[in-house]
A and B are shown apart, each in its own frame.
Chain A
Amino acid sequence: MRGALVLCHGVVLALAALPTARGTVSREALAQPPVQTELRLWGERLGASPRELEEFVLKLAETWDGVYAVINRPADRYFAWTGTYQAWAVFVAPNRWPTRFQIQVHPSRALPGEFQTVFEEGTERYAWQGTFFSQERGRVYFELQTWPRFAWLGPSVCRWAARKLFAERPDIDGVRCRSYRAPSRSPEQVARRETPPGEWLYIDEVWR
Chain B
Amino acid sequence: MTARLTAWSRWTALLETREAATSLALCRILTGFTLIHGLFRMGSSGAWSAVWVDAAHGGVLGLASPWLGWLHPGTRAETARVMAVAACGAVLMTVGLCTRLGILLAWLGARALSTSIVIGPQTSDFVLFNLLLPLACSGCGRSLSLDSLLFRRSHEVMAWPRYVLIGQMTLMYWASGVQKISSGWIPGGSLDAVWYILQWTHWLKRPISIEALAPWYWVTRLLTLGTWLLENSAPLLLLAFWYRHTRERPGRARAWFNRLDVRSIYVASALLMHIGIWATLEVGEFLGYCTAYAVCCYTPCEWRRVFTALPFKKRRVVTAA
Residues of B within 8 A of A83 (CB): 107, 111, 114-115, 121, 125-126, 129
B193 at the interface (CB under 8 A from A): yes
- Nearest CB in chain B: distance from A40 CB, A: 9
Can you list 22 A-B pairs, Cβ within 8 angstroms, ordered by A?
A17-B172, A17-B175, A83-B114, A83-B126, A85-B129, A89-B123, A90-B283, A93-B193, A94-B195, A94-B200, A98-B199, A99-B201, A121-B201, A132-B47, A135-B41, A135-B45, A140-B119, A142-B202, A143-B202, A156-B60, A160-B61, A187-B192
Q: Give the CA-CA distance A82 to B132 in the complex, in Å.
A: 9
Chain A, residue nearest B178 (CB): A19
Q: Is the CB of A86 within 8 A of B15?
A: no
Q: Which of B126, B185, B188 contacts A85 (CB under 8 A)?
A: B126
Q: Is the CB of A94 within 8 A of B160?
A: no
How many residues of chain B are within 8 Å of chain A by beta carbon?
71
Residues of B within 8 A of A3 (CB): 8, 11-12, 15
Q: What 0/1 readout, one digit per residue, does chain A (106-135) give for beta carbons within 8 Å of chain B?
A: 000000000000000111000001011011
Most buried by A among B44, B111, B201, B210: B201
Q: Given A143-B202, A190-B211, answer yes or no on A45-B129 (Cβ-Cβ < 8 Å).
A: no
Q: Which of B44, B55, B204, B214 contacts A190 (CB under 8 A)?
A: B214
Contacts A2-B15, A19-B179, A187-B195 known; 13 new A-B pairs at CB < 8 A = A9-B164, A10-B167, A82-B133, A88-B175, A89-B175, A132-B50, A136-B284, A138-B47, A139-B203, A140-B119, A142-B202, A157-B60, A190-B210
Which 4 pairs from chain A and chain B are nearest by CB?
A93-B182, A94-B196, A83-B129, A17-B175
Chain B, residue nearest A2 (CB): B15
Chain A, residue nearest B190 (CB): A41
Residues of A within 8 A of B196 (CB): 94-96, 184
A13 at the interface (CB under 8 A from B): yes
B122 at the interface (CB under 8 A from A): yes
Q: Is the CB of B122 within 8 A of A14?
A: no
Q: Is the CB of B282 within 8 A of A134?
A: yes
How many residues of chain A are within 8 Å of chain B by beta carbon?
63
A70 at the interface (CB under 8 A from B): no
Q: Is the CB of A94 within 8 A of B193?
A: yes
Q: Which of A6, A7, A41, A98 contacts B201 (CB under 8 A)?
A: A98
- Nearest CB in chain A: distance from B134 CB, A: 9
A87 at the interface (CB under 8 A from B): yes
Residues of B within 8 A of A96 (CB): 196
B65 at the interface (CB under 8 A from A): no
**For window 34-65 of chain B, which residues contact chain A by CB distance below 8 Å?**
41-42, 44-47, 50-51, 55, 58-61
